[in-house]
Amino acid sequence: MKKIIPYNPDLVPFAKKLRNNMTMGEIALWRELKNKKLGIRFSRQIPIDNYIVDFYCKELQLAIEVDGSVHFLEGHPEKDTIRQNRLEYLGIYFIRFSDLDTKNNLNWVLEEIKKMILFLKPAPNPSQEGKN
């Protein structure tokens, strides 16, 4: 059973606002993630601890971040590192892409996500047939 990771309920209204104001890269990726198109359920703009992640799979505790231009401004990479370290400490796995990659190289992004899913997804139990 996966552990429950707390979140700050004050972030819920902001998360809802972010869902309605996604970047073009986030929109392109969401079209490929929603409705279990990769075999697992993802949600978008999910509060975890005191942060909001772009996409999250609760089953695998996998966060996907799409970094727009603001993430490359002075001081922001350091904030992203602190944020990612905190969430990884809580047991969240991270995969990060630039907004440009999700817009211009979506197939590669999807292949990287599929690799991570295969890495994290638990193997099915072997058959117990023939054992008494």
pLDDT in tens, the chain (132 residues): 567 788 899 999 999 999 999 999 999 999 999 999 999 999 999 999 999 999 999 999 999 999 875 655 566 778 888 999 999 999 999 999 999 999 999 999 999 999 999 999 877 766 554 555
The domain defined by 9-118 carries CATH number 3.40.960.10:
yes
Domain boundaries, given as residue ranges, for the chain: 9-118
Q: What is the pTM of this model?
A: 0.85
Give the C-alpha separation, 88 to 82, whole Å: 10
Contact between residue 96 and residue 77 where contact means Cβ atoms under 8 Å apart: no
Extract the runs of DSSP E, i.e. beta strands, from the chain: 43-48, 51-57, 62-67, 93-98
Contact between residue 5 and residue 89 where contact means Cβ atoms under 8 Å apart: no
Contact between residue 58 and residue 2 where contact means Cβ atoms under 8 Å apart: yes
